[in-house]
Structure 1
Amino acid sequence: MDRKLSAILAADIVGYSKHMERDEQGTYERLVAGRKELFEPEIARHHGRVFKLMGDGLLAEFSSVVDAVECAVALQRGLAERNVAVAASDRIQVRIGVNLGEVIVEGDDRYGEGVNIATRLEQVAEPGTVYVSEKVAREVERKLAFGFERMGSQHVKNISEPVILYRVKLDGPPKSRIKPTRWLARHRWPGAAAGAVLAATVAATAALGIPAWLQQPILISNDRPSLAVLPFTNLGGDAKWDRIAGGLTEDIITDLSHARSAGNLA
């Protein structure tokens, strides 16, 4: 039995049976058009592959979980644009779930818990939304510009452990709600501590003979705590440490920006 790690996207049409009952031919035509004009091209553009088609949905596999989430968001946004020109009663909405996990490979088909959880996520999602598992959210939180909202945990059919759900925030400014796990994010810096670090940093620049313009604190117009992260200087002369110093500065800025209590960061 062959297994592999894959990102699985599950999509399902909301109210498919009612649409078919009201207008069978029109619903079928809109379904085929949406699949051919939006879903299949978008999945291919994000390096995915549809491995199963159902009457009212599909399953697709991606080697990259980043591609899978980006594709899911593109599908929901593309469908919303298509619905603008359609009467409300004829609009097709979908729910999408994305999971990252091991799947069983059997020819072109995929089975196993990795697929099952993606399907369950899709089933509990609201119309027009994308739900992802915690594993997916933590994998892509620093790689995508989308925010994530934790929706709690839920027991789903045929899965023994509760699944922690996240909803992708399709609109508004990106802001991750995932609890930071690295050291700097776990140790929150209150405003007084941030001010002390800033003062110490400015004092250090003066002691090291750094130009006066770099010694001036950055003034920010609101009352939130502020913290300036100045570049590290390589005093050893070995060029390889220049890259390390630059990377360390960027890592600190990134960690601080993900802290919920972060105010202004310069």
Structure 2
Amino acid sequence: MTDADELAELLAQRRRAGTDRAATDAAIFARFGRTQAVMFTDLVGFSRLVEAFGILHFLQLIQESEALFLPLITAHHGLCLKREGDSLMAVFDQPRDALACAAAMVAATDAANPGRVPEERIAVCIGLGYGTVLRVGDHEVWGAEVNAASKLGEEMAHGGEILVTDLFHATMPDRTWAPHGTLFDTRPVYKLLNETASL
């Protein structure tokens, strides 16, 4: 039985009348729950660049960015679970590793961009969350911090910005942060300020 099948069976059990949902939920989290940092990356300007220069131009930038980012994820003890379009999703056991990787990604793009024409520059937006997630199989991760990191990386961050959830922020009060609005109208968001050399 695969992890996905096992989870499906537990969720079916959870739906049955008379089921002790608290016990079933505890069983699900005991089997699949992990505390991890979640990273989402997104490249700047997908629609604009595709419209102006064609999909092959942007696919080239995706390939170049992955050549920069994937080794950094591995070097910082992370695991890339998904590559979808111009986005990456990775997990890390330690939030400090996730933040150091994010800073290294921004530094790598800064180093790669000088001398390039604007349409060939790589600019990355990064969102980070930290908390309990459900890891199912080799490529699936679910949880509130997954959703939050995705929202930060794909919608709220601008090029070169690293945004984190309140839960991620709480793990590293020694870093220099600036408040950066709210997520889902209730949760504070923080932006890492330019102190990447100390990571």
TM bin (shorter chain): 0.7 to 0.9
Structure-1 residue corresponding to 2:56: 25
Structure-2 residue corresponding to 1:121: 152
The 5 Å alignment of 1:1-266 reads 1=28, 2-23=32-53, 24-36=55-67, 38-108=68-138, 109-122=140-153, 123-142=155-174, 146-155=175-184, 162-171=186-195
Structure-1 residue corresponding to 2:11: none
- Shifted more, 114-123 versus 57-66: the winner is 114-123
- Cα pair 2:103 2:196 within 8 Å, conserved: no
* C-alpha RMSD of the superposition: 1.8
2: CA distance, partners of 1:169 / 1:111 = 28
Aligned residues: 165
Tell me, what secondary structure is at the counterpart of 1:85?
coil
Question: How far apart are 1:153 and its partner, in Å?
Answer: 2.5
Structure-2 residue corresponding to 1:218: none
1: CA distance, partners of 2:192 / 2:157 = 11
1: CA distance, partners of 2:157 / 2:34 = 26
1: CA distance, partners of 2:124 / 2:100 = 16
- Cα pair 1:137 1:166 within 8 Å, conserved: yes
Q: Flag the structure with higher helix content.
A: 2
Stretches of structure 2 lacking an aligned partner (at least 5 in a row)? 1-27
Residue 177 of structure 2 aligns with an amino acid whose one-letter code is F
Q: Deviations over 1:136-186 (max 9, x none)?
A: 1221223xxx41111243426xxxxx1211100125997xxxxxxxxxxxx
Structure with larger RCO (C-alpha < 8 A, sep 6+): 2
Question: How far apart are 1:47 and its partner, in Å?
Answer: 0.2
Tell me, what secondary structure is at the counterpart of 2:74?
helix
- Cα pair 2:148 2:183 within 8 Å, conserved: no
Q: Flag the structure with higher strand content.
A: 2
The structure with the larger Rg is 1
- Cα pair 1:100 1:135 within 8 Å, conserved: yes
Question: How far apart are 1:30 and its partner, in Å?
Answer: 2.2
Runs of 4+ in 1 over 4 A off after TM superposition: 171-174
Residue 187 of structure 2 aligns with an amino acid whose one-letter code is V
Identity %: 27
2: CA distance, partners of 1:153 / 1:20 = 30
Residue 169 of structure 2 aligns with an amino acid whose one-letter code is A
2: CA distance, partners of 1:137 / 1:13 = 23
1: CA distance, partners of 2:132 / 2:38 = 10
2: CA distance, partners of 1:47 / 1:173 = 19
Tell me, what secondary structure is at the counterpart of 1:141?
coil
1: CA distance, partners of 2:86 / 2:197 = 32
Call closer, same or farther: CA 1:30–1:173 in 2, change over 3 Å.
Answer: closer
TM-score w.r.t. length of structure 2: 0.77
